[in-house]
Chains A and B, each alone.
Chain A
Amino acid sequence: MISIEFILDTLVLTVLFAIVTLSLNLKYGYTGLLDFGKAAFFATGAYVSGLMTTNSYPPILGILTAIVIAALMGLLISIPAIRVRSDYLAIITLVFSETIRIILKNESWIAGGVLGIRGIPPLIDPRTTPYQMYLLTHLLIALMLYMVFFTVSWLLTNSPFGRILKAIREDEIASAMYGKNNTLAKAFVFSFSCAMAASAGSLYAHYVGFVSPDLFVLAITLQVWIMSIIGGPSTISGSFIGALTVLTIARGTRIIKDYLNLPIDPNNTMFILTGILLIITIMFRPTGLVKEGKIKVV
């Protein structure tokens, strides 16, 4: 039976992944920057928050520090990265992400190595609140964060700055010829989107209670890509729809397998269904479930 806790838990993850997907949409969907390093910035947030709160700093300070550090890291990686063509950028970000993960795994003095960080305090004490309330609180906090990023992203993309982003995606030379500073715009998007992904990572660490390098493998980045493509990369609201669709399949198949007698290994149904959906989307609705809209400034 599907319990209310199960639904709430899925929703919390959906909102957290929607934030990461939104950060990819800004970068890839609007600006055309291929970023395969999402997991690294998600991890940055989770680790910074984990380290700070287990050293008894308040969670809010952890999240803010995570945002600042990720923004700086985004800026740093953007220096070499935005000078190269799109496919090389994909390689740089991918390598960066894997490097971070492998360092975290092997250098146990930083954050516990393979074991990661345990005992990250939740945002609300689970011993004094009912479990449903505990889930609901996390959901509301995640939603609040998502709404902030949602609004800021909407304002950014529906503004003259949003035009610059789309112009960079379509033709950088034409954009520069009309006086736009592409480098600055790209650096901003890099930094802002990394901060966004990190804040989702922070909440994730508090919600799950522990972090380890194996939570931030390439598969996470790819999952976010699938969410982005299915939801509609050049949209704001597509981030939620994409995350919801993919996570519903991922979690729904865990329940369905108890009821259906399938001739295949039931653990694979999730991969099969997500793959089929991805193929169908690309074939019949390449713009994603939500279509790219016009820029609305006024």
Chain B
Amino acid sequence: MLKATNLELRFGGFRVVDRVSFTIRAAKTYALIGPNGSGKTSLFNAITGVYKPQGGKIFFRGKDITSYAPHRVYREGIVRTFQYPKVFYKMTIIDNLIFAARNQVGDNPVSAVFQRGKVKEQERNLKKKALDVLDKIGLTKYAESYPSELSGGQLKLLELGRALMTDPKLLMLDEPAAGINPILATQLFKILRRIRDEENLTIFLIEHRLEIVREFVDWVYVMRSGKIVLEGSPNEVLYDKNFLEIYTGG
């Protein structure tokens, strides 16, 4: 589904992503793990168009999407969340969700003024969809509240919900459980697992702690200093003789 070959991202002379190649297959869940500063988020940024890679190619469903701007990457069906939730604090939660939906007539300013009927009709449908998503992530009662009323974990859920609003073909989650205590994190993955199984999602996620996602993912890529140094099923990776060394930098 997603295939990267020799992907390279440099900041000055520093190779943050160093000729990385990997493959994501449909309806599977992948984890990208690795110590701090190993280039995980940078790799995500290179795929989603936040940074332009200096070398290599990215293919999504057979199409070359290297150097696409973020809004074009989105159109292809890739959506990502952020490690530090980038929600819109001055919009209600339901507005945050509806914002993300695809193909909105009213995104065009001229239609927003002159095709009010169409805009309203679409809005009603999107509102239903948003309430559905809120139900899935368990935030229904906050629909008309503002994100500042949510806890850190709930903000993560809101980001997840916003991503789900886009009917993603590939869902990329940057540390969905970062900064949340382990119990909540396990709950979050429970919700995520239910949604994944219901909607047959393809997920690529970043996580620090392999033990949390061990049950959840099918395949693990391990990054260190910009390179993918190890890959395999969670158990293979966990019991690999080099794994500890990669993590502790020994």
Which A residues are closer than 8 A to B by beta carbons?
152, 155-156, 159-164, 166-167, 169-171, 173-174, 176-182, 185, 188, 192, 234, 292, 294-295, 297-298
Looking across the interface, which residue of chain B has its beta carbon closest to that of A176? B70
Contacts of B124 in A (CB 8 A): 298
In the complex, chain B residues 56-88 whose Cβ is within 8 Å of any chain A Cβ: 69-71, 73-75, 79-80, 82, 86-88
Closest to B75 in A: A179
Instruction: Determine which of B49, B70, B80, B119 lies in contact with A160 in the assembled complex, contact meaning CB atoms within 8 Å.
Output: B119
Q: How close is B124's CB to chain A, nearest CB, in angstroms?
A: 6
Q: Chain B residues near A170 (CB, 8 Å)?
A: 88-91
- Residue in A closest to B116 when the chains form the complex, CB atoms: A155
Q: Select from chain A the residue with minimum beta-carbon distance to B95.
A: A295
**Sampled A-B contacts (9; CB under 8 Å):** A159-B113, A160-B98, A167-B99, A174-B82, A179-B102, A180-B107, A185-B109, A188-B109, A297-B120
Contacts A178-B74, A295-B91: A160 and B113 contacting too (C-beta < 8 A)?
no
Q: Does B166 contact A (CB under 8 A)?
A: yes
- In the bound complex, CA of A100 to CA of B98 (Å): 42
- Per the bound structure, the CA–CA distance linking A192 and B110 in Å amounts to 11
Contacts A155-B116, A297-B120 hold; do A161 and B91 have CB atoms under 8 A apart? Answer: no
From residue A129, how far is it (CB to closest CB) to chain B in Å? Answer: 35
| Main DSSP-derived SS at the A contact region | helix
How many angstroms between the C-alpha atoms of A176 and B91 in the bound complex? 17
Min Cβ gap A111→B in Å is: 32
Please, which residues of chain A bring their CB within 8 A of the CB of B89?
170
Interface centre among B79, B80, B91, B102 (most CB of A within 10 A): B91
- Given the known interface contacts A155-B113, A166-B90, A176-B70, the answer about A294 and B95 at a Cβ–Cβ threshold of 8 Å is yes
Contact yes or no, A180 B71, CB < 8 A: yes
Contact between chains at B106 and A161 (CB < 8 Å): yes
Cα A164 to Cα B162 with chains together (Å): 14
Chain B at the A interface: mostly helix, strand, loop or mixed?
helix
What is the chain A residue whose CB lies nearest that of B108? A161
Q: Report the bound CA distance from A170 to B90 in whole Å.
A: 8
For residue B50, CB closer than 8 A to chain A, the reply is yes
Q: Which residue of A lies closest to B112 (CB)?
A: A159
- Bitwise, B90-105 to A at CB < 8 A (1) or not (0) is 1110010011101011
Q: For residue A292, which residues in chain B have a CB less than 8 angstroms away from its CB? A: 90
Q: Does B48 contact A (CB under 8 A)?
A: yes
Given contacts A170-B90, A179-B71, A295-B95, 9 further A-B contacts (CB under 8 A): A156-B112, A160-B104, A170-B88, A171-B86, A174-B86, A176-B69, A180-B71, A295-B91, A297-B120
* Residues on B with beta carbons closer than 8 Å to the beta carbon of A192: 109
A91 to B157, CA, bound (A): 39
Question: What chain B residues lie within 8 Å of A234 (beta carbons)?
Answer: 90
- Inter-chain CA distance A108–B98, complex, in Å, is 54
The reply to whether the CB of B231 lies closer than 8 angstroms to some CB of chain A is: no
Chain B 111-131 interface residues, beta-carbon cutoff 8 Å to A: 112-113, 116, 119-120, 123-124, 127
In the complex, which residues of chain A have a beta carbon less than 8 angstroms from the beta carbon of B91? 163, 166-167, 170, 295
A152 — nearest CB in chain B belongs to which residue? B113
Which of B70, B73, B102 has the most chain A CB atoms closer than 10 A to its own CB?
B70
Contact B123–A297 (Cβ < 8 Å):
yes
Residue of B nearest to A188 (CB): B109
Min C-beta distance of A153 to chain B, whole Å: 9
With a cutoff of 8 Å between Cβ atoms, the chain A residues found around residue B104 in the complex are 160
Residues of B within 8 A of A162 (CB): 112
B145 to chain A, nearest CB (A): 11
Point out the residues of chain A lying under 8 angstroms from B105, CB to CB: 160
- Whole-angstrom CA separation of A160 from B102 in the bound complex: 11
Residues of A within 8 A of B119 (CB): 159-160, 297
Expressed in whole angstroms, the Cα–Cα distance for A108 and B249 within the complex equals 73
Closest approach, in angstroms, between the C-beta of A83 and any C-beta of chain B? 13
Asked whether, in the complex, the Cβ of A298 is within 8 Å of the Cβ of B112, the reply is no
Find out whether the CB atom of A173 lies under 8 angstroms from the CB atom of B50: yes
Name the contact of B106 in the complex, choosing from A160, A166, A185 (C-beta under 8 A): A160
Please provide the chain B residues from 6 to 61 with a CB less than 8 Å away from any CB of chain A in the complex: 48-50
Q: How many Å lie between the Cα of A169 and that of B89 in the bound state?
A: 11
On chain A, the residues within 8 Å of B98 by CB distance are: 160, 163
| Contact yes or no, B100 A160, CB < 8 A | no
B88-A178 in contact (CB<8A)? no
A159 and B116 CA atoms in complex are apart in Å by 9
Given the interface contacts A155-B112, A161-B112, A295-B95, does A176 sit within 8 Å of B88 by beta carbon?
no
* Chain A contacts for B80, CB-based, 8 A: 177
What residues of A have a CB within 8 angstroms of the CB of B75 in the complex? 179
Q: Check if A159 sits within 8 Å of B106, measured CB to CB.
A: yes
Residues of A within 8 A of B107 (CB): 160-161, 164, 180
Residue B74 contacts which of A167, A179, A182 (CB distance < 8 angstroms)?
A179
